Structure formats: structure tokens, C-alpha cells
Structure 1
Amino acid sequence: MSNDAQDSAATVTTVLGPIPAAELGVTAISEALISALPGAEYAPDISMDRSEIFAEAAAALTAFRQAGGSTVVDTTGMFHGRDVKLSEALSRDTGVHIVASTGMGPEELLGGYFLTPQTNPPTPWPAEKFADLFAKEITEGMVVPRVERRGPAGLVVTAAARSGMTPTEESLFRGSARTALSTGVPVIARFGADPVADLGHLLDEGLPAERAVIAGLDCTDVDPAAVASVLDQGAIILFDHVGTETDGWLSDDARADLISEHIANGRGKQILLSSSATGAARGTEANPIGFGYVLTDFLPRLFERGVAEDAARGLVTSNPHTLLARH
């Protein structure tokens, strides 16, 4: 089979079922459809009214579609507000494809069950247990607590603490890589203290580098040499706070300069962009920048720097399409 035929046959798992990768259109690759800190549902000052949450998220998705967007990838994982049934309803109502994720991390945001040693002597959850947990959410459907499995996830996500990876987080990274290998989905991993070492945990499990995404690389304290190393190993880099210019993040002009340089050096197919925008937030501050910011506000900065339109638009079309396609 030719590469073109393989591309045309590739599918991506959305909350409403598989679709051809070519139908994804403009894709916001790493956003939060609903962002809620675990426990927010018990806070008396926070409204968890589902109709309110639906209305907020639907408005954000509709604005994205009106700006030319087609697909939103929700990378919040299992414990940060994911609502499978609500995601299905939002996709049907707005016409925007939604790709949901399994996975969890960093350790400080895990549920207590996953932090309780269940061996003697006590040890963190092993990678194989996380791999089994995540893989079933992809092959059998995401868990709707106490009800059923429903709607499979389309990727696995994880994260490490910025202070440095813990043993549990190493299990999460290795379990995520094993999940990707067994199911054909990619991994998006937010690095901890060392992006190169954290990528190494994924690659050590045999995950092809092109199926591994290292996120959070538009922080001001990231060593450019580390970014270069991630690229040299064939992995994907994700600048996932486009539009955020405070609190340790690069300015958009600095992002545009770096991305233009990487594209000029032939690395354009290894770059992804997102804003980590939120449709609705509870118990945590919303990022109201909008799912379409990269498309409408950031890509023009690349055009101004001489980046060809097809190369710039590939950052929100062909690059995420290739990543999300099941292998």
C-alpha cells in the first residue's frame, strides 16, 4: 500500500466514533474542554450545574468552528473534569469533532487510590498496571464512574512534576508508552525537570519517537539544547501555551521566532501548537483565550516571518492529523 493510500485509510478515534484523519480539519491539539480540579464538586461555592457547563463549553466550541476550526483534542486525561457523556453531547450540538484522552499526572493530582501502595513491601503502582488501565479506556471505552464504559479515548496523556519526576510518575510515563504501543495511539507527555530524560522513559519502552510528544516546551526556563535534543531524537515538540505571555512563558513573538527557525531547519513536521484553552473551568482559573487563537492570532505572526502558508497551516492540520491517526 502506498503512503498516500495509508494516509487516506488512517482513522482517528473521536468521542462519537472513528473518522478518517483527513476529516479532522483545523485541529486544536491540546486543550481543556472542561477543566475541574479533583474535589471541586464538593466545594459549596462552586456550581457544577451541567447545563451551565454545557453552555460555556458549547459557546467556546461554536466560536472555534466559526473561526475555521474543526477538531478539539481534550488532553485533561481522567481526573480533571472529563465528562464523556457531556463531550458526546457537545460534539453533536456544535459539529466540532472532540478527541478525548486517557491518562493522568502529575502525581500531586492523582486520586488516592493510585497513590496507595498495594504491595508488601510498599511500592508505587507499576507501569504495567497503568498500561492496563489506560489501554482499556482506549479499546473498551472510557469509564463513566459507577455506570459503564462509553466512548473510547483517542490518545494517552501524562505529566511529571516540574520539581522532578517521582517513581510513580516514571510508572505513568512507562505505562503510557506501553499503552501507545499496544493500542496505536500517541502519547502527549508534559515534562518535569528534564525533557530529554523524560522522553527517554518513553523511548526505553520501545515507543517510536514520532509517536511521542513532549509538551510544555515554551517555558522560559527550557534549555534550547534540550529542545534540540528532543527534535534530534525524532520526537514531537509541543508549544502548548501560545497566547500566554506571563508567569514563566515565552512571548508570542519569541515563540514565533523559534518556530520559524525550526521550520527553516527542516523540523516543521515535528512541531505542534496549542493554547491550553478551556471551554469551562471549575475550581481552577480558566484560560479564556479561545480554542481558535493559534489559527486566528498566532499563525499570522509566522506569515510575517516568511513562513510559507502551507508550512504554517500544517502545524494545525497535517501535523496533528498524522499524530492522531491510529497505527
Structure 2
Amino acid sequence: MGAQTAGNTTGGTVNTVLGPVPARELGVVAVHEALLSVLPGAEYAFDVTIDRAEIFEILAGRLRDFRDHGGGTVVDATGMFHGRDVRLYEALSRTTGVHIVASTGQGPEEILGGYFLTPQTNPPTPWPAEKFADLFTREVTEGMVVPRVERRGAAGLVATAATREGMTATDESLFRGAARAALATDVPVSIRCGSDAVRDLEVVLDERLPAGRVAVGGLDREDAVAAGAPLEVARRGAYVVLDHVGTEDGRHIGDAERADLAARLVDAGFGDRILLSSDATGVAKGHAGNDVPYSHVLSDFVPLLKARGLADEDVRRILVDNPRDLLSVR
């Protein structure tokens, strides 16, 4: 639906931490989750422990639960510097049989390291989009960085986010850099919207990235729903990501309302533009994680969708076909 959508891509491949896999093998995909999420700097804190064996066991249990409920692939959308551990993810994928897609990217501005904010200029200026584009592109074409050691497998996604109160100049550089990296590599972009989802989407579309290569998250926030953003994003041909399924916090709509929203989008002809995820955190260090299970969409939310009249083929499209088409590299 809408402009510049991606077509059926069952013949494509997807970059996972264990290498490219045929897109048709992904199965049910959780498109926006976190595996190990570490607040930058927390690894140096006196009261934070990083026990890799313990972390592995916790994450393996969560991934097995997802698999046992019918899940096939988890996308870790945390980007570059928030605990991403490619070697750990490789071991988890081999052990559990769950495909793991890791991401490059950064944002929003408030959680960037100083190096990426003021790179040796007087007066200080944001990094230009071209520098972010090069940084992200290399993580796809040369492999994701394991700091001071090596590069590993290719990133399968460029993830970035805008400042909640509104896109800053640095956020715009991030968005444009992410779009340019996607154009150079054919991996998709996942953006978490700020105060104006449609404007944020238009920034990446201005870089001539097809709308069908863009997933817009944060669209189950109360403010985004009130502004009509989910329908407007779908009309432009991008994917509408309801990415806090299972969260009931007053800032996001609840699961009953999410199911209503998904049903309205399907009724409007946009069933091929919907993606679901929980923004769940497997293990959090230095901050409070979101403890919703990766399996929540399958175990609790799918019955709500069916109660609202969605057929099995609608559910399959949302959980299998749509993320497959988004993540495929052709």
C-alpha cells in the first residue's frame, strides 16, 4: 500500500549474526527488541556486574521461550553502543536455534557519546550525515565492530531514534546518515519517532529511500495515536511498528487499544504495513529494562487480534511476511 513499497521478497536473504539466511526461513519475527542492554558507562560502575555466563543463561531461557511459542527470529534494535555483544549473540543463536538480527545505528542525541556530538570543531557542530552514513555502512559491508578487537557479522538493520520532544540537528544527521547507509547496502532503517512521526519519516524519504525500506516505531504511544500518525505513516508506504506490545504505562496505549488499532489498519487496507514487537529487554544493566517476554505477542496479543476478526492469514502477514519483506536484502 502507499508509495514506494517493497514487493514480495521471499527470494532474498537476511543478515543474521551467523551470516546471511534465506528470508523464507525467518518464521515469526520480533522486530524491535533488546537482548543485552547496557547504559553506556554502566560497565564501569562499582555496583554493576557483567557476568557473561549468567547473562547467557538468562537470554537463552528467554529465547527458548520465544521459540517454544512459535517464534523464529529476534531483531536486536539497540544499535552500536548499548551492550551489543556480537559474539554472545552468535553463541545464543547456535544454542537456541533462534535467528538473531543485530543492528547498527545510534540515537537519539541525548544518549550519544561526546565524540559523536562535537568532533574537533570550533564552534562545536553536529556530525554531518555523511560521517554517520560511513560509520553505519561499514558495519554492514565490513562487519559489526567488537571494540579494539575485530569486526564480526554484518548488521541487518540501521536503527536510530529522534529526541522525544522533537528532532534536533544531530538527530537529523543521524536519520539522513541512516537513510544513506540503507541506500548503499539495501538493509532497512528502523526509526523511533520523536514528537512528529510523519515529519521524521519524511526526513529519511527526502534521501530518496523507498518507504517500504523504513519501519517507524513509537506509533503506539498515546501522542502518536492521538495525532493519527499510524494511518499517515501507512499511507506513505512505510511500516507502522506497534513496538510496546505488553506495556501498560500510561504513555502508550494498552494492548486492547493496540489490537483495535491493528484491526483498523487492516480494515483500511494496510495489513501489509503493520509490524509488532514488545521492546522487551532480555538483560538490562545500569537502567530498568522492560521485562515483557519476547513471546508475549504470540501468547497474549495474537488472541486479541483474532477476537477482533483478524484471520489467520492476516496474523501471518503481520508476524511473518511483513518483517521478512522489510529485512530482506535483495
Amino acid at match of 1:281: A
- 5 Å matches for 1:289-300? 289-300=292-303
**Count, aligned residues:** 323
Q: Please say if residues 10 and 324 of structure 2, whose CA atoms lie closer than 8 Å, have aligned partners that are also in contact.
A: no
Q: Tell me the residue number matched to 1:82.
A: 84
Higher relative contact order (CA 8 A, sep 6+): 2
**Unaligned segments of structure 2, at least 5 residues:** 1-6
Aligned-CA RMSD value: 1.3
Residue number in structure 1 paired with 2:3: none
Partner Cα distance (1:42, 1:6) in 2:
46
Alpha-carbon distance, 1:226 to partner: 2.6
Deviations 1:111-161 (A, max 9, x none): 111112333453210000000000000010000000011111001000011
TM-score when scaled to structure 2? 0.95
Quote the offset at 1:7 in angstroms.
Answer: 3.2
- Aligned counterpart in structure 2 of residue 11 of structure 1, from 10, 13, 25: 13
Task: Kindly indicate whether the alpha-carbon contact (under 8 Å) linking 2:117 and 2:125 is maintained by their aligned counterparts in 1.
Answer: no
What residue in structure 1 maps to residue 263 of structure 2?
Answer: 260
**Match for residue 310 of structure 1 among 286, 307, 313:** 313
Matches of 2:117 and 2:159, distance apart in 1:
18
Give the aligned partner of residue 55 of structure 2: 53
Give TM-score, length-normalised by structure 1.
0.96
SS at match of 1:100: strand
TM superposition shift of 1:32: 0.3
Q: Please give the alpha-carbon distance, in whole angstroms, between the structure 2 residues aligned to 1:71 and 1:122.
A: 41
| Aligned-residue offset at 1:269 | 0.5
Matched AA of 2:219: L
In the TM superposition, what whole-angstrom CA distance separates every residue of 1:47-89 from its partner, at most 9, and x where no partner exists? 1111111111111111111111111000000011100111111
Q: 1:204 aligns with which of 187, 203, 206?
A: 206
Partner of residue 285, structure 2: 282
Are 1:102 and 1:142, in contact at CA under 8 Å, matched by a contact in 2? Answer: yes
Alignment pair present for 1:119 and 2:121: yes
Deviates more, 1:126-135 or 1:111-120: 111-120
Q: Partner of 1:195 in structure 2?
A: 197
Are the counterparts in 1 of residues 241 and 276 from structure 2 also a CA contact under 8 Å? yes
Counterpart amino acid of residue 189 in structure 2: V
Query: How much does 1:9 deviate?
Result: 2.3
Q: 1:225-258: per-residue Cα shift (whole Å, max 9, x none)?
A: 3322211111111010001011311011111111
Secondary structure of 1:125 counterpart: coil
Equivalents in 2 of 1:26, 1:232: separation in Å? Answer: 25
Give, in angstroms, the shift of residue 224 of structure 1.
4.0
Gapped regions of structure 1 (runs ≥ 5): none
d(CA) in 2 for partners of 1:170 and 1:197?
Answer: 11
**2: distance between equivalents of 1:6 and 1:260?**
22
Whole-angstrom CA distance in 1 between matches of 2:316 and 2:45: 42
1:244 to 2:247 alignment:
yes
Q: CA deviation at 1:6?
A: 7.2
Matched letter for residue 296 of structure 1: S
